[in-house]
Structure 1
Amino acid sequence: MGAAGSKLEKALGDQFPEGERYFGLENFGNTCYCNSVLQALYFCVPFREQLLDYYANNKNIGDAEENLLTCLADLFTQISSQKKKTGVIAPKRFVQRLKKQNELFRSYMHQDAHEFLNFLLNELVDILEKEAQAAKSDPETSSPTEKTANGPKNGQLNGVRKEPLVTWVHKNFQGILTNETKCLRCETVTARDETFFDLSLDIEQNSSITSCLKNFSSTETLNAEDKFFCDKCCSLQEAQKRMKIKKPPHILVIHLKRFKYIEQLGRYKKLSYRVVFPLELKLSNTVEDADIEYSLFAVVVHVGSGPNHGHYVSLVKSHNHWLFFDDENVEMIDESAVQTFFGSAQEYSSNTDHGYILFYESLGASNKS
């Protein structure tokens, strides 16, 4: 990336952020799904800083077992500690570990970036929880750990109920949804909470993220064959159901359902619908706060006309500059270029580059990017 790297340095000039690194990632035969998500996560500053801290605190453990967390921490540390400001890094160790860990990613076929993101975040949580349990059972290494009732798992330990652990992955990405069902006969409301790392939204032509979120939280009537069993009435009753965001996450990840199974075709089809995603997003209709403001800092883009082939790239905002990451290549783009990834207002369009996963950071906390 020599020429491209120097071009990027020239474009940023005196504005090149102090201590920041912009490195492309080598593609090992269809690993663009992985590279695009890793770039988005690297520029999720609070997540990156905690991963670098993790590496700094654990690098002296010589016999530590290699896993996806250690490989990711090692990769992010390699990037952040480069002497050069731009260049290319080969995430070989991470990709090898990923393939070893999950056979889904072993083939050279086109993979889904959203599936990879989901798998990675859940895997990191599992590793951190196991490490915390191991530390608790070893008094030599034991340290106080933070706990809360909002984690994803409950369990028993020596007959004592233990509260789920909240890791720094949870603190960044986890939100809570509440599923409310109201019996239309006795008007009793039943609420059930569930945690999420990302929101998967159905999309429609010529819509926006705001309207997709409204549809996500819209009230649905359960009747006929879908009646709800009300515990108070002890029978099936008509009911109204809706999903609300009870606790919004610090990092809001939105996955647009661009791949839809079409029964007549017997396969998945990509929806190239135009869905506007704003640079600043107000999240309303939440249980805790009336309005929460978010700022867009990364977009994973799917390029191509179908789900089984194509390419992934990412757009990233860093220190008020927008950058375009396409595997080894990194270049600066204008903020207005983000709009070209909204999708197409026509069914058939030559532009197949569409926003697929959006990363928003809450403006309520420090946003260094």
Structure 2
Amino acid sequence: PVNEHYFGLVNFGNTCYCNSVLQALYFCRPFREKVLAYKVQPRKKESLLTCLSDLFNSIATQKKKVGVIPPKKFISRLRKENELFDNYMQQDAHEFLNYLLNTIADLLQEEKKQEKQNGKLQNGSIESEEGDKTDLTWVHEIFQGTLTNETRCLNCEAVSSKDEDFLDLSVDVEQNTSITHCLRGFSNTETLCSEYKYYCEQCRSKQEAQKRMRVKKLPMILALHLKRFKYMDQLHRYTKLSYRVVFPLELRLFNTSGDATNPDRMYDLVAVVVHCGSGPNRGHYITIVKSHGFWLLFDDDIVEVQQNPCLC
């Protein structure tokens, strides 16, 4: 396709966890557009976001359509900023995604705060302190959804709910299952009884109750994390659940709350980060992405077109 580039990323010693997430994010169009737009802003001091912006820009402006790029500046900045990634060991791709999105959001919020203090905010509007707390960045606009935790007292039927924002959803996996099934399990009703009774404000005492989690606000882009690493008490370590989980190419969430905004939103699958190997601290990460109707496999510096990818 015109204007699309497919570039592998050089591995700098077990950095496949980082390369695979960066490829998934690059083919996540709203995110890519915001990162590229950040590049044209007045020069800022070096941060993880400026390095990411330079990397994405470098891919997007290559003369060739296919090739390999070393994300050296980004990796060295990452290692400088967080000691968790400052080694040559295999890291967790989900931890890296979380760290990257939260770091970018913090940087953007800090910049907004600085602009306000410097009186650069347009329209000359003065915002309240409360407004500052809820400053949403484009990271939130793209990835943030809201969960609501509903608890119903089985004595008086009163329902209390507590909202909680998320940038990705972590779901448990079971044998021979699908993403849809995993998401249904995420909202299973749990009964609180015996020593886990719930203190009901209406009854003013501990009562049996039913609790469940539902999605109140669906994000623009849904990032799902399959919890494949489970701690086994008898082994005193994490082990990998290598169950087959089927991915639909289109997904609609059914576990939405009654007052959910756009509950019928349909999601199209654009990228899957896959861990190959038996444990959390070993193995290898690759990414399968959809671009202009084609599926491609990114394995560090290797890029291959997949005719019939098995998405499970």
- TM-score norm. by structure 1 comes to 0.81
Cα offset, 1:285, TM superposition: 2.4
- Corresponding residue to 2:72 among 88, 92, 99: 92
Residues 30, 109 of structure 1: 8 Å contact kept: yes
Q: Deviations over 1:85-126 (max 9, x none)?
A: 111111011001101111000111110000000000000000
Q: CA RMSD in A?
A: 1.7
Aligned CA distance change for structure 1 residues 314 and 230 (closer, same or farther; 3 Å): same
Map 1:108-257; keep pairs closer than 5 Å.
Answer: 108-139=88-119, 141-143=120-122, 157=129, 162-257=132-227
Q: Is structure 2 residue 301 aligned with structure 1 residue 301?
A: no
CA–CA separation in structure 2 for the residues paired with 1:135 and 1:291 = 38
- Corresponding residue to 1:319 among 279, 289, 292: 292
Cα offset, 1:304, TM superposition: 0.6
Residues 154, 208 of structure 2: 8 Å contact kept: yes
Q: Deviations over 1:300-351 (max 9, x none)?
A: 01011111100000000001111000000101001x3233xx2xxxxxxxxx
Aligned CA distance change for structure 1 residues 53 and 294 (closer, same or farther; 3 Å): same
CA–CA separation in structure 1 for the residues paired with 2:58 and 2:131 = 41
Residues 136, 143 of structure 1: 8 Å contact kept: no
Give the paired residue count.
Answer: 308
Task: Give the equivalent residue in structure 1 for 2:52.
Answer: 72
Report the identity percentage: 59
- Unmatched segments (≥5 aa) in structure 1: 1-16, 147-155, 343-369
Q: Is structure 2 residue 18 aligned with structure 1 residue 34?
A: yes
CA–CA separation in structure 1 for the residues paired with 2:145 and 2:4 = 29
Aligned CA distance change for structure 1 residues 145 and 309 (closer, same or farther; 3 Å): farther
Q: Secondary structure at the match of 1:200?
A: strand
Aligned CA distance change for structure 1 residues 71 and 143 (closer, same or farther; 3 Å): farther
Q: Is structure 2 residue 257 aligned with structure 1 residue 277?
A: no
Letter in 2 for 1:18: V
Task: Give the equivalent residue in structure 2 for 1:330.
Answer: 303
Aligned CA distance change for structure 1 residues 31 and 268 (closer, same or farther; 3 Å): same
Task: Give the equivalent residue in structure 2 for 1:149.
Answer: none
CA–CA separation in structure 2 for the residues paired with 1:80 and 1:143 = 31
- TM-score norm. by structure 2 comes to 0.95
Residues 218, 263 of structure 2: 8 Å contact kept: no
Greater than 6 Å deviation, 4+ residue runs: none
Task: Give the equivalent residue in structure 2 for 1:292.
Answer: 265
CA–CA separation in structure 2 for the residues paired with 1:110 and 1:72 = 21
Task: Give the equivalent residue in structure 2 for 1:267.
Answer: 237
Cα offset, 1:145, TM superposition: 11
- Unmatched segments (≥5 aa) in structure 2: none
Cα offset, 1:166, TM superposition: 1.2
Residues 297, 316 of structure 1: 8 Å contact kept: yes
Q: Deviations over 1:9-38 (max 9, x none)?
A: xxxxxxxx1111000000000000000000
